[in-house]
Every structure is written in C-alpha cells, then in structure tokens.
Structure 1
Amino acid sequence: MHRLDAIDAYNQKLVKKIAVRGITVKHLAGSSAYLYVDGLEIGKGADFPKARVELEVQTAQGIKRQVKRLSQGMNLHDISGGIEAYKGLFIRDVDANRDIVELSNGDMIGAGEVTQDVAEDQKRRIQIREVIRAHLDKERQLFAQGIKALSLFFIDEVANYRDYDREDTLGEYARVFEEEYEAVLADFLGQLDLDDAAERYRKHVEAIPVRSTHEGYFSIDKRTGRSVDGKIAARGDFAGQSDDVDAYDLILKDKERLLSFEEPVRFIWSHSALREGWDNPNVFVMGMLKKSDNTTTRRQEIGRGLRLSVDQHGERMDNPVTVHDINELTVVTDESYTDFVTALQKEIIESLSARPRKASVDYFTGKQIKLADGTTSVLEKSIAQALYNHLIRHDYIDDDGLVTQAYKDGRADGTLAAPTAEMLKPVIDFVWPLVDALYLDLPKPTDGRKPKKIPFNEANFKKREFQELWSRINHKAVYQVEFDSEELIKNCIRTLDKSLNVTVMQYLVEAGKQVVGLEVQQLEAGTGFKVSETKVEHSAVSAGSTVKYDLLGEIAEKTQLTRRTCAAILTGINPGTFAKFKQNPEQFITEAARLINEQKATVIVEHLTYDPLDNRYDSSIFTENQTAQDLSKAGEKLKKSVYEYVVTDSKVERKFVEKLDVSDEVVVYSKLPRGFSIPTPVGDYNPDWVIAFRDDTTKIKHVYFVAETKGSMSTLQLKGVENAKIECARKFFSSLGKSDVKYDVVTNYSELMDLVTG
C-alpha cells in the first residue's frame, strides 16, 4: 500500500507531516470595498475580456467573500447585493493584455493585487500572531532535544518588512511582528511548567531581544531599487551593526551558524525564497502573508519547509520512532483551512499522477482484481508477498521498488515469466494491471462538477398543455396596499431594540493536521487532512470611517418604505441600539432591514390587492440568461420536464421531481425560470414549479407552486417574510381569475395529489 507523509516539492522524498492553520473572515464590516483580482482572460468571439475578482457579497447568511467573473460595465454595487462601499463603482475596463482592471473611480488593479482593506490588516496581524504561537509551541518541544526551530514568512512586497524611510527601517509587518511577539511570548512564558527544562528554555528566549530574533533577506528591494546593502538594526551577538549583505549571507549561505542556538535569528522573512534558491531543514512554521499567484503552487511554497530537521551536531532527525513527532510543518495561511488543504491535496495528487510508484507488499495487499468470470477478488498478504518475490526474482523491479525496463519489455512482448508459487498461478494474469499502475501515467482526476448550462427540452415546452398553462399564468401585475404606519413604526422600534444583533468583525482560525500514514487514495478523495481545532478571533476595528453611508436611503431601499418612516424608526430606537451601527455598518443595515421587513410582513397581506396588467413575460426567459449549474445534483435525465435536468437542493425536492417525471397524471412540468417573479411589498417572489395535469379531455386542470422551507432561513423569516410572500402569491393567482389554475404549498408528491383529487 503506497503511503505518503508529505511531498518534497523538489526531491520527491517522504519528509515532514503538514499541519495547516487557515484564517477566514467570518463577519466583514464590508466598508473597505475589498477587491482582489485573481486573474484575467480573453473572452471568446465578441465577448468582453473577463476578470476573476474576489469581493464582498451580501448573502442570506451574511456578508461573504466570493469570486465573480466580471467584464466591462458591470456594477459592483449590484454584483455585491447592495453593499454600500461599492456604490457608484463599476468596471470601466478589463485589459487582459496588461492584466489590469480599471474601476470607475480611476483605480487600476493588477492581477494578484488587492485594494485597501481594513480586514486585510487585521488578518495579517492574526496570521503573524499564529505563526509566533506555533513557533513557540514547537520550539519549546525541540529545545531540550538540541534542535533549533525556524519560521519563515512569505510576503508580497519587500516594503512591508523593510522601510528605508524610517530610522529603524521596520516595515508594517515587522512592527506588527515585534508587537505581537512580545505579547505572545509573555503569555507563553507565563504558562510554562516550573521544571529545569522549562527554566533553561525561558532563559534562552528571554536573552534574545525582539529586534534580534527576526531577519529578512531579499535579492533586490523592488520598492527602492536597492540591492542588499541597506543598513539595518543590530543583530549577531546582540551588539554592533550589521547590514543586508550580512543578513543575506547568514540566511542563504551560513546554515550551520543559522541553526546554532548561539545565533538569535529564528524568524525569517522573504519576498520569494523560491527564486532565491534557499531552503533549510529546520523550518517548522511558514506564514503566507501574500496571495497565492498563478505561477507558484502551494506545493512549491511549502516545499521550502519539507526537509528532515537536524540537531546542533548536524544529525538528521530520522529515527523511525520519533521522526513524525519531530518533523511536522505548520502552515499559517489567510485562506480558509478547507480551501487551502483541498487545493494542496489536488496539487499533490496531480504531481503523483505522472510519478512512478514503488512496488511493495503493502501496495499489493488488499487490492482488488477482476477474474475471468467477471467476479472480483481481494489479494491477501500471502499472495501479495508471493507476487513481490516474483518481481524481485526476475528483476522486474529494482532495489528501490521501481518497475524496470525488463518488465515493460516482457509485458509488451507477452514474454513475462510464469510464477513458481502455486498460490500465484491462478491469479497471475489478473495482477499484471496492478504492476502496470506503478509506472503508467495515471489519468489526472477530473472535476465532474464543472458547471454547465442545463439543456432545454423544446418539444416539451411546445406541448399544447404547457403553452395553455403558460398563457394562463403569464401576467405581470401591480399591487396596492394600505396599512397603519404608526403601528408599523412602533412594532419596528420594539423589535429592533429587542432583537437587533450586530457583531464586531470576526475571524475563524481553523487548524488541521495531515492524517497519520497518509495514502494516495486519501489524497484522491480529499480526506488527507482533518480539522483538529477551531477558534474565533474578534477585532474591535470598525471600517465605518472609510465609507460615507446613506443609512436612511439604504434601509428605505431594502424595505421599500419612505425615508420619513425609516427616520421615525431609527430615531425612536434606544441610543445603545443605534450605536451598534459603528461596530459593523453593513450588518447593521442588513439586519435592521430584515427585522423591519418581518414586521412589515405581518400587516400587509390582508390589505393587499393585485391588478393584472396586459404586459406579459416573453417566453425567452426560459432560455436566456440561464446560469451554469453543478449538474452533479441534477440526477437522471428527465422525460416530462421543460428542462432535461433539474438541480435540486434537498432530498425532498429530488424525490418530488422523480415522482413528477413518472406520474401518469402529469403531462408536462417545469421549474419556473428566475425571470418570472411576483412583486410583493417584501420583495419579488419566484414560484418554483408549474405542473400541467391530465383530465379526461387532456386539458389543463391545475397548476401548483411548491414552496420548500430552507434550513438557512430563521424561524422569524419563515413566519414573517416568507409566509407573507406565500400569501401574496395566493392573492396574485386569485386575481388572474382562472378557475382551472390553483396555487398551493406542498412538501411532497402525495400532498400534491391530495389537492388535485380533493
């Protein structure tokens, strides 16, 4: 069985295990107008060039960062779901030749760049803090064993670490590091055990000034155009002066000195250690203070830390008993833990797909083979041992377990030696594919979930039954509603004071470790890492000062109330409630509007009337502007649907579709496209299903809309806004005056048939 502890990106050896700490913003203030351009592409035909842009988006679960494919003219305020920080901002141009996106405010963002982002500063501080914590944990463990621990930071700009305009030449990251180091170290030392080993470690780290414990090396400082010759602060023996050349030589050339406890440098900063050819066996923690680009893979980056460590005597720490306890690399990244390890496993398995594997008894044991009669059999260890011996005896594998040319030639010519072991003879012809798999290129894993547009069934769409159904419901309408504004204002004030919750910015730190004895199959399945710890960091930073908010206008727009009514509500709430706006402006607006809409929903339905218009929807809404979807959730091809597949979000909905498609009573059905919506005072409503049933004269008998309660919605939303939309839909369909069209809510096919036949 092929085992893998980690891949050395260069020498392809089995080396350190990997642990990952990923930091994700869980609740954004949103006002920083964060934009990150990931990459650009030339469109096909007459398409505009498109850019993959990461930005903040208002979702039902809160503000999240999402990647969107944007082109010239797109409005970022609309794309983001109405985040105020993007108001008036749109894509002026996408220049794929220069990898630049130009915004309407004049900003030019290149691929790999990020706009000013309050959250980014806080994330970097937390990353630096986590690197220091991980370093001290590992260093305390290794110090008594005579092993010096190093940590490596990758940064995206030299000026973030080295600022020659300052007297101390410390860039922003360096200053943050020194602040966090002193705080974390004090807390860490305060929790040490009171034994001799802990006391020796305490004396060692307390003797190292913070300024001496970190160093950077850069072949060229791109910010100033200088090479490595700028003066920096004291280091070495804690006195005197040193310069960039000395730092460069220490880190790049003098490994023995760097790995000595006498040398105070333990934290190393680099712009791109990959290009500068540096690696060190004692890197135990890596901090990725930069965005991953398209030319450097995660596997290449962490390859700088995947080396077996050495002690003070230069002895490699490869004792089989302790090798994996000692040699563990922790990676601290600003990506979520899941995103990072998923991409890392994918990159590793892709590199393995073209790499010869080694034959071993473990590799063959437990493998399935297909016999002549079509049945399968599992190789027991005794047969695996016999096969391995056979390969060795005939020089079909070399001393390293790699398949030789002799096997390849014999396999091609059909002249492979017959086995002498009796247990191997019945299965020998069926085990050769297992040997072939050791050297033949394996197909790279394909992503079957690639989004695609769902094919349209024009024949079902043109059926008379569906066209008659469509003609009956295809009406646009306007509504009128009257309600007591004073009662609504009082209810909203009371609810906001009681239920408005606004949190400060939060960061989820997820830590996970590579599983013991990692196997290739686990990498292929994406299960090579497991989460071991999660914790939440809070930030008191508010981004409110960076964006001017039209608070009344935003809430009025989201609630469809007048500015006067919204002003009466906001001036009536307690000062403490209103003060929550400063904590997180975007969330305040979103949550306040949601609570107001819920109160509004309780009073509108009984006073609501619809007036159908002569205007109708064009049938092109069934085919135009259709988005690509994940067809892995689409199930089997459908026979009676207007669309050949239907993407469902739940097992209940999937079962409902399956029943519809085989029902003798159903002629044709469709999931209504997003373009068809019913206007309501609490937002447009898009019914899910239209279904045409048979009767004795094959005419349309009923139409039903199926509503599904979604787990992401709160109880209040279901009782308030969602229930109001359902009641509005009842009144809309009733206003059409079609006796053979019914509207109702069901959760399964049996309920539907009860309503049809009742």
Structure 2
Amino acid sequence: MKLQFDKNQGYQLDAIQSVVDLFEGQSLNKSDFEFSLSDSVKGSIQFTEAGVGNNLVLSEEQILANLVKVQTGNQLRPDEISIVIEKLWYNDDAETKNVVATKTVVTDFPNFSVEMETGTGKTYVYLRSVYELNKIYGFKKFVIVVPSVAIREGVLKSLQITFDHLQEIYENQPAEYKVYDSGRIPDLANFAKSNAIQILVINIDSFTKDANVINQVRETGVRPIEYIQKSNPIVIIDEPQNMETDIRKRAIANLHPLFTLRYSATHKNLYNLVYKLDPVKAYDLGLVKQIEVDSVIAKNDISGAFISVDDFKIAKQSITAKITIFVNEKGGVQKKQVTAKIGDDLFNISKGWGIYKEGYVINELDADNGFIEFSSGKIVYKGQAVGGLTDQILKEMIDATVENHFKKEKELRAKGIKVLSIFFIDRVANYRSYDEQGKSIKGKFALWFEDSFTKWQNMPAYRGLFTYSSDEVHNGYFSQDKGKLKDSKEGKTTKADDETFKLIMQDKERLLDTATPLRFIFSHSALREGWDNPNVFQICTLNETKSDIKKRQEIGRGLRLCVDQTGVRNLDRAVNRLTVIANEAYDSFSKALQNEIEEDCGVKFEGRIKNARARAKVSLKDKWLEDSLFLTLWDKIKYRTDYKVQYSTQQLIDNCVAALQLMSPIERPIIYREKNIAKFIRDNKGNLIELGGEQKGSKERLIREAKFDIPDFIAYIQSKTELTRNTISRILLESGRVGEIFNNPQLFMDSVVKIVKQEFDNVKINGIKYEKIAGQVYEMKLFESAEIEQYLENLITVKSQAKTLYNYIAIDSLSTPEKKFAEDCDSRDDIIFYVKLPKTFQIKTPIGPYNPDWALIKKDEGDETNIYFVAETKDPKAVLDRTLLRDSERKKIACAEKHFAVIEDVHYKVVGSVSDLKI
C-alpha cells in the first residue's frame, strides 16, 4: 500500500500560505546561476566559508507588519494579535526563575506558532512549507527539532512517504533529508555545503549539553554544530511545549536560527500565533474522527480496601503522596484522591470508613523506589492499585474493546478498511513477563484478551470474520533489554528504545494491510505521543491508576481519518468514529475533555463528544428494490452527465481586467532600520514585558525604495491559472496595473492569480453545458453504502416507512433546516416519497463533486399529478439571498441546476423548507 495525499486541502494550504506571507517583501527565489559574491548579503541565501546559508533581509518592523496582516486575515482573536515580535528568552542561572536583566538572555530571532489539531496533517503542512519557502524565496537550510525518539521516527516516516508527492508538486526540486546521527558527523558538513534543499531532523537531547558529540571540538578544530550555525537554518520545532525549559531554549538558540516555526496542537506558550485550526473547527469541518466514549465503570464498588498510589510530591523538608481511596462522603462512599503523609491513618482520611480501621497507618513513604508501607506491613507501589474491583474493570475494558472492534470490522470490511485497536498499558509485565529460564509468559492482559477474542470470534454474528487464531492478531511494542521486553520512558534515546520506536513507526503500511493478521496493539504509555495510524478506531487505556496524561494526548493517537486498501482517505463521518474505552462515566470523561480543550484553546467543545451506547443502525427496509415509488423516482434521477465548458476568451479577459482594476493598490514596501531595538519578552506568568528600559532608536534611516529582481511573472501566473501567455499578457496590459509589479513582485503575482482564478471559475460556470452520457447511470447499490451505525442525535426515526427507504433519516445534527425538512417530509400528506441521497451520488463540476441532499415525489395541490424534485436544504435566509452562501457552494448549485436541466421531468430546487418545493 502507498498512502495517497491530497495536495488541495484548503485548510492546509491556508496554514502554508500564512507562513509564506510572513516574509512578504523578502527577495524572491533566483536560479542557482544568478548569484555572484556581491549578492551574498542581498538575497535569501548567502555564501560563507562553511558553504551555503539562509539570509533574511527584512527588518523586524516589516515582519511585524506582515505578521499582523496574516493574523488579521486568519481572524485571530484581538488578544492573539501581536504587538511586537516576541523573542525566546532563557536564564543561564538555574536558580533564576523570573526575568532578571543581568541574568536573562534574550535571543534576536523571530518565533512563529502554528496551532493545528492532532490528526489534521501538521507534519505534512510544515514539510510542504519547507518546499514553498524555497520556491518563493529560495531558503535552503531547514532543521526539524523534535522532543523524543518516537516523534523523530514519525517525522522520518512522513518524510519518506511524502517525498515523491512533494517532488511532483515542486517539479523535482533537489532536496535531501537526514536524521542526525552522532556517528555520522560528516553529514553535517554536507548539510552546510549543499546547494539543494537540506532537511535535518534532530532530537533536542542530542545537542543540549556541552558533552554531546555535536558540541565537542573535533580534530579539525571545528565543533560539528558550527556547520548548522553558519547555515542560519530555519528551525521547525515539533511539539514545542516540550521545549520550554531553560536548557532546551538555550540549545535551540545555539542553532542560530534565521527564525523558528513552532507546530503543535497544544502549545504551552504561543509565540506570535500565525494560524489556528482548533479542535472545534477541525471537528466541525470533518477533518478528524468523531469521538465517542464506551464507559466501563463499577457501581456499588465499596466492599474492598481500595488503595491506588498515584504520585509523590517532594518538598525541601517533607514528602507527601497522592493516593486514591474510598471516602465516606455525605452522599455515600466514593473513590476520591487525597493527600497523605507519614503517620496518617486512612481510617481518619476516609472519614471513618470501616474497611480501613486496622492496619492502614502510613509507616513509610519512599519516593525513590515508589512505594508506601502501612502498619500492617502491606506495601503498595506507585502505578499499582489494590482492592476494589480493579482487575474486573480492566478485564471488562479489554472485552469492550474487542466487542467494538468486531462490530467495526464487520461494518467496514466491505469498504476495504482495516480496523486497528490500541491498548495503552503502564507496565509491560501485565502483558508479557519471563520465568527463571528467561522464557516469555503471557501476562494477565494477554490472557484476558485471548479469552475475549475467542468468545467474540465464536459468536454467530461474527463467525467467519477472522480466520486467525487469538494469538496471531495481537502483539506488543515495547523496548527490549537483553532480549526481554521492558518498560520504556519517553525522551530516552537508548539503542533499545530507538529500535522499538523505529519498528512501530516504519510498520504503518504493513499494519494497514488487511492481509496482515495484526489488529490489536499493546503499547507502553511512552508511545502515546508521536505515533498514530489513520485506521485506529478503538483506544483503551489500561491504567491501574488514574492517568495523568491529558485526554487530548491519548485520543490524538486515533483522530486521523481512515484510509482504504488503496491508501485513499475515507471522508465519511459515519465511518470515521473513534471509540475511547474509558474506566469512568461518559459524563465525567466528556466534561474533562471539554475542560482541557477550553483551557488549551479558549473554545467551547460542548456536544461534540458522543456516547458510544447511543447509536443505532441505519438499515434499508425489506424488499426496498421492489418499492414502486422509489423505482419510479430513481428512473427519473439516475442519469449520469458530463459537461463541456464554452466561454469567450474575450469575455474572460474583460472580466479579469475589470476585477484587476478594482484590486487594492500593490504598495511598495517600506523598509527602515534602527540602531537599537527594544526587546520584548514574557515574564514567568506569560505576560509580555519590556527588558532593558525605554526603546532606543536615535539613529533611524528611512529607506523608501526597495529594488527587486523581476521574475518571469507571466510564466508564474500561467502555472497557477492554466491560461496562455498571450491571454495573461492581454489581461495585465489592459488592466493598466502591470507597473505595480515593480512595487512588490510576489504580492502582485499572488493577487493577480487569485483574481484571475476566481474570474476563470465564474466564466466556466456561466458557460457550462451538461449532457447525459449514453448508457451510463448511477448504481442503486449506492444506497447500501448508507447502511451504517450513526449517533441517535443525528437520526430522525421514520414513522411512515412506506414513504422512504431507511428506518432512520441521517442528518447533520447541527443543521436545523435539514432536520425540520426531514420531519416535514415524514409527516406531510403531499410528500408521497422521499429519500436522503447517498454521499456517493455526486455530480461532476469544474470545482469538485457536488452531492445534493434529497430526492422526492410531491403530489401537486388539488391534483393527482406527481412532481419529481431533487432538493438542496439551506438556511431560509440563504435561499432568498445566495450571497450568504460560500462562493464554492453557489457555484456548485449553479452547476447542479444545469445538470438537472437536461434530466427530463426532474425539478432541482434550493429550499429552506418543504413549502418551497414549487414549480
């Protein structure tokens, strides 16, 4: 399998363009033959004794102006608009926590943040941004800094699988990527000397300390890191929230970045936020899976002396532990996390719950070895829970995961989609351990899983679904120590961990292949961050204690939209459903996740987390192929069409000229310099403050002219619009605006391209003509694809089954007009048949496929004549004023009107209600 990538994802292109627009006014890309030594400080690259490096000619003030323009265009909140270019700062003195003028180091390079929800292609966006920054400005040197081995291997995998795709988009632009290896130091010299795009992936821990190989002076008298420093790389920071310590910020600054681009779904500090795709927007646009929770909780579980050791807190003169026990509250006994110290009696802390009456005084707290010893001699370790129904809960969670997997596998196999499930566990020994002879032994999780798998495999509904035995479909991904599996820790870079992370990252395509038996993956918690697979449909976290990993991070491993066996992404929201098996009530899980998202992003996520139990199967009624009303309606609407576009080149030219004459003026950039620039930084509370007193700028010099090399702008516009050179030349000359190319070439070209493409789409839509394709019709089996489980809140129960095909009507729960329309169709006497058209019923248009909403038969008022409609439901205001719709929606509707115009006896209508169905 080869994963396929869509180069036209609008939200990804917006994120890429936002970064490119930060440097408007920067020298444009030149060919490699246009440089001379005199150019070494003028363009976007410079020549040094080490080789080829990046160069930035813009002033900080111009970058700030560009930044504010981008932020405003992306509709960021007022508090997210930058007042200054925020800088990275750190304290060399470990004892210094706040900003101290004499001890705080403030860097001089700009930093920019891009926020993209997990699963929306963050890595793809920054890798493509590398190529785009090279194409537009000519930058060549890029370093990707990652916080862990797992994320490093994920980035490497992304580089491998996107390389051909990006080479195709960017016309085979020479490019190389490598992962830093302390045993291959000569690679860094090549990084510096090469004139091709160079991408170096490096783990932050590889260069934070003086003792690291990269920072040691070699026999040549050069420290290897100097090759990177002299290249002035653009530093891309993946998951920057993990790099906010002083030592890591200092290490990043030591790379001598031209600027940094920081990409994450969960930033800790937003340095000059450029673009934001938050969880709510990603969810509403259908860019990630829907989230549902299958809760496994114990009721009346108060019989045992439950104790779980969650954490230790060490202060200068004391040590305390966070433990979870049963507490006798007013509303009854319930599990609660409490803080305890040496000498505390759990009987007192539990407010007199009798089960802790004897033997539960804390004798010892050992944070180093991670355990608590009680007066009875009982020892409980951190990460361990004793008493209560712990094992029963964990066993039931495994069974719930297997059950959900079997349901999903049966549902999606016909669509060529393989289903994967992940179990995250805290201790490898629970899955696999070793006897005295070193022979592996299945742990309790493995045994419970195999019992559950065998049980569901033998259920009548699932017989024949799997031909594999229970021990073939699961495996663990853990580190090894002398051949034995062991717990691993995120951030460690031992050879054993390296091999483990490489295995799970590089096996992505194999895991997606239905011919590979592996379906269930047991993984140590260290792999929670950095690894994901698009076909993960179930996530189960088998914690014996409450997880301190954020829920957003846990569910992020399964948010990507799934792919089929051809590597093509499936966009059906009913298919893309991530089930989280949680050992807490749905309401509790949902509230905690909502709170995290609101704290991290400042946006509401209410109503978007689904209850896995609140689902129903949308099914076709019996003998639906014999329904005479449906067959009559289908015979009317089933015809496929193709289109031709007829337009006048002169009309296109005239329209483009008129639009260009209304284009905002392309202003010449104003570049000015200051002798001293004030440095603005954050204090320890995250507020912007000024370091160094009042701003100094006594020696200002205003430069009102900037000279640009003018590229072949006709060729550039031609490559973006598919028009001929002659047509483009006529448009520009007749517009009278061509002289503005000298003010700012890139802004001029991009503005022209945007206008010309928009006008070209308009004339194509106006001149489109549809014709029925002889002998070609839509297949009726399209309706079978809609037979799938949906959430009840997205379903309307059909009362008049004779009037439609399904037992439920599936609608967008956020669409009030569509919901009211479906209810009226079911209840009104003048609607004698209706059906929601499958998403795969698509009409071709020049701007992408269009899927109408409904097909109906309506009885004419006062007559027995049947009228056949295809309807698109929109807000009633948008029906009256189509300018309220998105431009692409208006154009697709215009195409649909012309498609159905050649289909006899079918009337296409855009409606706000059933009452609008008139001819």
Scaled to the shorter chain, the TM-score interval is 0.3 to 0.5
* Greater relative CO, 1 or 2 (CA 8 Å, sep 6+): 1
Higher share of residues assigned strand: 2
Q: What TM-score does the superposition give when structure 2 sets the normalisation length?
A: 0.36
TM-score by length of 1: 0.42
